[in-house]
Amino acid sequence: MLARFFLIIILSVASIISCGGKANSPPAVPSTPAGPEYGYEDSVYNFSTSAQDPDGDNISIRFSWGNGDTSAWSSMVASGQSISASYAFSDTGRYNITAQAKDENENVSNWSASHSIRILVLGANNYPDAPARPSGPATGKVDSFYSFSTSSYDPDGDSVAIRFAWGDGDTSNWSNFVANNSVVVDSHFWPAEGSYYIRAQAKDIHGALSPWSAIKTIAIVTNYPPNRPSTPSGPSTGVVDSSYLFSSSATDPDGDTVSIRFAWGDGDTSAWSYYVNSGNPVHMYHSWRNPGTYYIRAQAKDGKGVVSDWSDRKQIVIYTQPNNPPNRPSRPAGPDIGRVDSIYFYTSSVTDPDGDSISIRFAWGDGDTSIWSPYVPSGGSVSLSHSWSYPGFYYINAQAKDKKGALSQWSDSLEIRIYW
């Protein structure tokens, strides 16, 4: 019975320690292994990487050599310290080397990104690398020519020729031989709509062929969609059940006429407008039945029925009651005589008919206008400072805005004369 009692206590203490202790995290993913990009079979090459452990634990690293072989775990080193391993590849080809880390508690990281090495035949002709993915347009029109370019590296330094497979069953002639890694350009057209997958292949002057490149896709159409419409323009605030006018425009790459519709942000989308010339604005009214913040977007379609992406959003805040702008601020109060580069303070106040808090800015008469002040309660005053760089007469005015963005008229002017 006594032994059972002590066993329960020991298990309870272990449970408390286990629950209260901090969980051990696995090491971070090791860095991409560093090492040579080319080598020869049966030669030894060195690769290195490092990994951080979030708990500061020592770590061990192993390498996967990309041929089914994996190194033994290294000895433990401090977190972040570089670890190296050597390896000899017995066969030619391209291998992708990755690394993995584990900490002292046997927690294992994910595998790293891969480092690629190509193993060559010493004293023999090696085929060129696969060309880079062809670069060129992603869209085009039927029966129009489009140019694509790529290059290929030959590990023996031989000159190379390149051909393109156009994805429609047609393959270009081989280009002229060019210096190793030089850019080759070729053109093609497609007679029908569709998505086509373009690849490139290289050969060296001895006739050795590279693998095919990665794919470049081009979408061929008979008609381009309109460009994305402009962000709708119109008021930023309003009140329920009042109509507000918004406008947007869109250009069409083919010069087709366009129609525009608006999504009002309340679940309602307008009918398509009448067609207008490419680039001309379209105007529509809308009202909102409930207060809130709404985001308005526009979409275009051309005369052939092809639709654009939606525009960026325009925000409007709808209130339950009409918002009146602040009253005209008081004439700025402050000195009317001063000197160049001296700082002077000016004060103005204003009330808002709706009792909204207000912000004030000052126009200093020298082309400079202050930033808006922090908001203060209706009827409160705001003081801001300014200095003038040249002598002369300047006329200071104040303007107010309320929390809903409504602007007042400018105040009467205060004249100041600045001396040297």
List per-residue pLDDT tens for the chain, 420 residues long.
445 544 444 444 444 344 445 689 999 999 999 999 999 999 999 999 999 999 999 999 999 999 999 999 999 999 999 999 999 999 999 999 999 999 999 999 999 999 999 999 988 999 999 999 999 999 999 999 999 999 999 999 999 999 999 999 999 999 999 999 999 999 999 999 999 999 999 999 999 999 999 999 999 998 999 999 999 999 999 988 889 999 999 999 999 999 999 999 999 999 999 999 999 999 999 999 999 999 999 999 999 899 999 999 999 999 887 788 999 999 999 999 999 999 999 999 999 998 999 999 999 999 999 999 999 999 999 999 999 999 999 999 999 999 888 999 999 999 999 999
| Beta pairing partners, 88 | 44
Q: Please report, for residues 74, 103, 112, the alpha-carbon distance to residue 80 in angstroms, rounded to integers and kept in the order given.
A: 14, 12, 14
Closest CA to 160 of 123, 131, 188, 139: 131
Rounded Cα distance between 121 and 124, Å, is 6
Residue 126 sits at the vertex; the CA angle it makes with 120 and 128, to the nearest 5 degrees, is 110
Three-state DSSP string of 183-232:
CEEEEECCCCCEEEEEEEEEEECCCCECCCCCCEEEEEECCCCCCCCCCC
Q: Domains in the chain and their CATH numbers?
A: 38-120 (2.60.40.10), 139-221 (2.60.40.10), 237-319 (2.60.40.10), 337-419 (2.60.40.10)
Closest CA to 287 of 248, 249, 238: 238
Q: Please report, for residues 143, 216, 229, 272, 295, the alpha-carbon distance to residue 140 in angstroms, rounded to integers and kept in the order given.
A: 9, 13, 21, 27, 33
Rounded Cα distance between 318 and 292, Å, is 5
